[in-house]
Amino acid sequence: MTQKTVLNEMHRRLGAKMVDFGGWDMPLHYGSQIEEHHAVRRDCGMFDVSHMCALDVAGPDAKTFLLRLIANNVGRLQTPGKALYSAMLNPSGGVVDDLIVYFVEDGQYRVVINAGTAEKDIAWMNARLAEWNLAATCLPRRDLAIIAVQGPNAKSRVWQVLPETRAASEALPPFHSISVGDYFVATTGYTGEDGLEITLPASKAQAFWQALLDAGVPPIGLGARDTLRLEAGMNLYGQDMDENVSPLDAGLTWTVDLSSDRDFVGKAALLAQPQRYDFLGLVLLDRGVLRAHQSVTSEHGDGEITSGTFSPTLQTSIALARLPLGTAIGETVHVAVRDKQLAARVTKPRFVRNGRGLI
C-alpha cells in the first residue's frame, strides 16, 4: 500500500501532480517544475520530506554501534548538534544506504535514512545490533514530519514563522542542528542553497506548512528537488550508488574513513579493491539531454552516466558519471544519445552552488 505523509491532502489541495516515490504518494510538481527550481535558486521554497525516516539511536553503546556501522567516523562528532554525512556498507563494500547522523548528546544520535530503503535499513541495523550484542536501540520516529526550506531567503522566512528559533539557529554553522522546543532545526539540505530542515511533531506539520505558505514560501516538488540536487552534485541513492557500487566509485571517498584503526562493515572490501572509476561531471556541448545509463566513450575507456538532466540554472544539459581512471577535467568525451554520439566536456561533479554556476 502506498504511504502518505501528514501533508498529503494539503499537496492535493494545492493542485500537485502526485506520483509514487519509493512507496510514498509524493508531489512531483505543483504546476511548473522549472518555476519551482528557479524559486529555490533565487528566493526560497519548501519541500515535504516527511517520507524520509528519522531514527533515534540511543543507549550506552550507541556510539560504538555507529562506529562499526557506517563508513564515516562518528567519533569526530564532539559537539552536540554537529552532523556528518556517510553511508552504511555491506561486507562487499557496496552502499546499503546513504544517511545523515546528528550527534544530540552522549548516548543519543538522530539518523535520517532514505524513504525507499527505510524498511531494509532498519532490518539491517537491528540485525547488526543483535549480531554485535550492543546496548543500544534504533527507534523509527514516524510521529515526526520533516519540512525543508531552502534558498537564499529561506532562513528569514522560517524565522518569520518561528521567531523563537532565530536566536538559537542564526549562528548555526552548516551541517549542525539544535533543538528549540518541539522543533529540531538543522542547517542541512539537498539543493546547494542555504536553508534549514525542520523536524517537528507530525501533529504540527500542517499548521507550519500553512504558515509558510501564508508567508509567501512556495511548495516545491520532487522534480525540482532532483534538478536542484544534481546541479549541486549531490548523489541520489539507487542512481549514483547502490548495494553493488563502492562509495569510492561514487564520489563519496570523502565520507569514508580509511585512515584510522577503526573497523567498520565493508572496510576490508574497500581496502582489498581500490577505486576503479572517477566520479565526474559532464556538460553537454551538442544539442540533446543527458540521462542515466547512457554510455560514455573516452580516450581512457568507457564509462556510464548515473544521473543526467537539463539544468534550468545553466540552460544546458549536465550529468554525473562514472568514468575511467585518468579522465581529466576539461577533456571532451562522447555520450551515446539514441543513435548519435554527442560531445560533452568533463567537469568537476558540482555545477551550481548558492545560485552561481561553477563550470
Residue range 283-305, pLDDT digits in tens: 999 999 999 999 999 999 999 99
- CA neighbor of 220 nearest in space, from 31, 6, 357: 31
pLDDT at 211 over 90: yes
The x, y and z cell numbers of residue 343, run together, are 560531445
State the residue for C-alpha cell 562493515: 265
Quote the CA–CA distance of 324 and 217 in Å, as a whole number.
43
The string of pLDDT tens digits covering residues 153-173 is 999 999 999 999 999 999 999
Q: What pLDDT sits at residue 129?
A: 98
Q: How confident is the model at residue 359 (pLDDT cuts 50, 70, 90)?
A: confident
> What value does the mean pLDDT take over residues 12-37?
98
Phi, psi of 68 (to 5 degrees): -90, -25
The residue with cell 539544468 is: 311
- Give the pLDDT band of residue 101 (cuts 50, 70, 90): very high
Asked if 211 and 175 touch (Cβ cutoff 8 Å), the reply is no
Yes or no: say if 298 and 331 are a contact pair by the CB < 8 Å rule.
Answer: yes
Summarised one tens digit per residue, pLDDT across range 238-273 is 999 999 999 999 999 999 999 999 999 999 999 999
Mean pLDDT for the stretch of residues 56-80: 98
Secondary structure element (H or E) that encloses residue 208, with its range: helix 202-214
Structure confidence at residue 91 (pLDDT): 98
Contact partners, residue 124, CB within 8 Å, separation at least 6: 88, 96
Q: What are phi and psi of 279, to 5 degrees?
A: -105, 110
**Secondary structure (DSSP) of 150-186:** ESTTHHHHHHHH-GGGHHHHTTPPTTBEEEETTEEEE
Per-residue pLDDT band for 1 (boundaries 50, 70, 90) equals confident
H helix count then E strand count, the chain: 9, 20
CATH superfamily of 1-272: Probable tRNA modification gtpase trme; domain 1 (3.30.1360.120)
Phi, psi at residue 247, to the nearest 5°? -60, -25
Which grid cell is 258?
A: 580509511
DSSP string, 294-325: -EEEETTEEEEEEEEEEETTTTEEEEEEEEET
Architecture of the domain defined by 276-357: Beta Barrel (2.40)
SS3 call for 145 = strand
Q: Strand 195-201's sheet: what is its strand order?
A: 45-48, 144-150, 195-201, 183-186, 177-180
At 199, is the secondary structure helix, strand, or coil?
Answer: strand
- Ordered by start, the domain boundaries in the chain are 1-272, 276-357
pLDDT at 114 over 90: yes
